């Protein structure tokens, strides 16, 4: 669940490395088609920080001391996480068991860090990560999973993991993270292009970026199930897109002690409304002024 001083403690699904981060092992444990994304990686260690804090929120009423301990542990884990960051570059390294740092220009670290622990990202790093996203990952209607200049970009043509496309959930999580760090205009403009990629029906497991394959109906082309792409044509990750609009565009925060919303609608539709959202056994609506009873 998080890093600990105990040498035998397991962190998430990975064993604890000597420096306190989780080591998630080899390639088949992680992105499977990205050979350099192994061992200590930022994305899942950021998730461990988030997990510790959620656990602390749950435990606080019954055991405030344990909750405080988990919060302190999460802060130490977050501090160690930045040891993987490529300073000035906007992406993260993966740390090998021998201590070597391998640069990995992949979206997975970026989307997890921005979406799960945005308050841990200072303004300078936010600017660097956005610059990396815009310059190396973003396309008008989709995105690349890793940068095309990453050395691992020749390992595979599986477009859910490689430079020629991205797994369907990842654009949704990146856009959500952009909202969380206050890059509303960038996220809203990009969503308009992402929406065009839904003109073929439900999202697929992955879509091709436009520089690799011509678009379809104004959006990024769905990837086929044929070899060597072997992606499900209708595996949609629909929950990630639903979440983008609930927690990103409408900025709903459903906490244990109440529900709030600070919508970011200006770049899309200021009059948009989210209706019939269930929270705590009741239904609420959300508009530009926040949460209200229907």
pLDDT at position 14 over 80: no
Rounded to an integer, the average pLDDT of 41-51 is 98
Query: Which residue reads 């989307």 in tokens?
Result: 111
Annotated domain spans of the chain: 1-104, 121-249, 250-294
pLDDT at position 11: 46
Q: Read off the pTM.
A: 0.92
- Taking only the tens place, the pLDDT of each residue in 163-182 is 999 999 999 999 999 999 99
Rounded to an integer, the average pLDDT of 230-241 is 88
Give every CB contact of residue 7 below 8 A, 6+ residues apart in sequence: 16
- Residue with the bigger pLDDT between 278 and 10: it is 278
Alpha helices per DSSP H over 60-183 = 64-81, 107-116, 123-132, 169-180
């Amino acid at each position: 669940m998080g890093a600990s001083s105990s040498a035998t403690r397991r962190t998430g699904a990975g064993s604890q490395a000597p420096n306190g981060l989780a080591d998630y092992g080899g390639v088949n444990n992680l992105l499977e088609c990205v050979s350099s994304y192994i061992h200590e990686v930022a994305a899942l260690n950021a998730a461990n920080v988030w997990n510790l804090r959620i656990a602390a929120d749950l435990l606080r009423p019954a055991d405030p001391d344990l909750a405080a301990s988990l919060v302190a542990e999460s802060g130490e884990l977050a501090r160690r996480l930045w040891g993987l960051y490529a300073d000035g570059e906007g992406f993260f390294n993966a740390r090998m068991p021998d201590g070597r740092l391998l640069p990995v220009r992949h979206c997975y670290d970026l989307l997890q860090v921005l979406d799960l622990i945005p308050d841990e990202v200072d303004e300078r790093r936010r600017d660097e990560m956005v610059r990396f996203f815009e310059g190396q990952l973003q396309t008008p209607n989709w995105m690349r999973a890793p940068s095309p200049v990453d050395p691992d970009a020749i390992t595979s043509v599986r477009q859910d993991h490689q430079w020629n496309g991205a797994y369907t959930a990842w654009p949704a999580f990146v856009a959500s993270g952009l909202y969380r760090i206050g890059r509303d205009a960038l996220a809203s403009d990009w969503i308009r292009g992402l929406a065009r990629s839904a003109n073929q029906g439900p999202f697929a497991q992955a879509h091709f970026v436009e520089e690799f394959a011509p678009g379809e109906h104004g959006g990024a082309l769905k990837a086929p199930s044929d070899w060597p792409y072997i992606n499900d044509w209708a595996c949609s990750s629909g929950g990630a897109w639903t979440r983008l609009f609930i927690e990103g565009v409408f900025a709903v925060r459903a906490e244990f002690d109440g529900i709030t919303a600070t919508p970011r609608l200006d770049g899309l539709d200021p009059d948009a409304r989210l209706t019939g959202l269930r929270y705590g056994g009741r239904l609420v609506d959300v508009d530009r002024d926040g949460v209200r009873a229907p």
